[in-house]
Amino acid sequence: MFKKILIANRGEIACRVIKTARRMGIATVAVYSDADRDGLHVRMADEAVHIGPPAASESYLVIDKIIEACKQTGAEAVHPGYGFLSENAAFPQALEKEGIVFIGPPVNAIEAMGDKIESKRFANEAKVNTVPGHLGVIEDPDEAVKIADEIGYPVMIKASAGGGGKGMRIADSADEVAEGYSRAKSEAKSSFGDDRVFIEKFIVNPRHIEIQLIADKHGNAIYLGERECSIQRRYQKVVEEAPSPALTPALRQQMGEAAVKAAKWLAYEGAGTIEFIFSEGEFYFMEMNTRVQVEHPVTEMVTGVDIVKEQIRVAAGEPLSFSQDDVKINGWAIECRINAEDPEADFAPAPGKVRGYRSPGGTGIRVDSGVYASYTIPTFYDSMISKLIAWGKDRNEAIARMKRALYEYIITGVKTNLD
């Protein structure tokens, strides 16, 4: 097992990884930008290394600076968290050259799943249902209209390199396809530096359901049930829960086995999530996230599995500590993302100084946070303050506990979405 790991991230996810590493007896190294000198993750880690200016492009996204921090501190492995470099295939490649272990999947898995067109082709090869559509790159608006006519309306125009709702347009007619194609292409170029788009059938009133996977280097892969993430704003998840109220045990098994089949086809290692669109009893592969996700705590709450611990164990070459038969769903868990944003200004980010901070507690309540009283939330990064998770023996109890916890959560000095 590793003696020291570096967390190439910040905020709540860095704090969350540090907690598990500490329980495992592993020393931790934090990295921080100028804007994060007073970050909670910096205070929690055993060591901290400054890596540059506030802009992520000059600090958290600079691979050479992360590697230099590893060399400086003797960190043997790097946990990327989510976002930043977590799904950048060049990162694990660079780490490997320096003899540093990446706590994540193989490079080929990141490359295959990082491109939405290629990931859907892969899912087809693995014989996992995908949303009907055209998987080739579309060259112009006329071709986009022709393809949409063949698929049938409504359609979704999507950026191949996209995420977070960027580079996406819904079209109900040929005119809307032509306009949506141009807009999606332009937005994809500015957001991701990649203007490739594709078109697929838009599933009306779908549920967004994802399967949590864990796989080791010894050929073992299991699923930890599902999460439902259908409550979103502008394609960004706001409330997540496990299990899904829409799935029967039989459907859960079907989706879980489909996800495991895809993972084994890919020779996947570590934690990952396969996201499905679910509608009228049918489920379709949407994408795979080759990292730990923001909403992983709800799965941990209902299964008792520490997903980050398993990530670290797998990266160290150890086999999974449990089998599929050991996984049981116990109760219900809900997560709310608490953000520094102004509800009266269309939920625009509202960073600033946190004057007062008191998080809720009690039975079944978990708070994954990266802030504290007197901390100034920087303007340079995501606006998420924390994740509030409530567990109950059933969905009603989880909802009741969440309501109580939201009422008891006190954050002053910045506007939030608590109300």
Dihedral angle of Cα 208, 212, 218, 220, to the nearest 10 degrees: -80
User: What is the token pair recorded at 385?
Assistant: 């303050």
Residue 419, classified by CB atoms within 10 Å of its CB into exposed (0-12), middle (13-18) or buried (19+), is exposed
Q: Are 87 and 293 in contact (CB under 8 A)?
A: no
DSSP H or E stretch at residue 69: helix 63-73
* Rounded Cα–Cα distance for residues 306 and 308 (Å): 6
Q: Are 417 and 384 in contact (CB under 8 A)?
A: no
* Rounded Cα–Cα distance for residues 74 and 76 (Å): 6
Which residues are paired to 134 by β-bridges?
Answer: 199
* Rounded Cα–Cα distance for residues 166 and 49 (Å): 33
Strand order in the sheet with 168-171: 133-134, 197-201, 155-159, 168-171
User: Which residue out of 169, 196, 252, 291 is catalytically annotated?
Assistant: 291
* Cα–Cα separations (whole angstroms), residue 127 to 26, 106, 283: 40, 22, 13
Known catalytic membership, residue 291: yes
* Rounded Cα–Cα distance for residues 241 and 228 (Å): 5
Residues 6+ apart with CB under 8 A from 136: 117, 198
Q: Are 242 and 263 in contact (CB under 8 A)?
A: no
Residue 188, classified by CB atoms within 10 Å of its CB into exposed (0-12), middle (13-18) or buried (19+), is buried
Residue type at position 258: A
- Residue 246: count of CB within 10 angstroms of its CB: 14
Q: What are phi and psi of 129, to 5 degrees?
A: -55, 135
* Rounded Cα–Cα distance for residues 300 and 307 (Å): 7
Residue whose C-alpha is closest to residue 47's, from 24, 73, 21: 73
Active site residues: 291
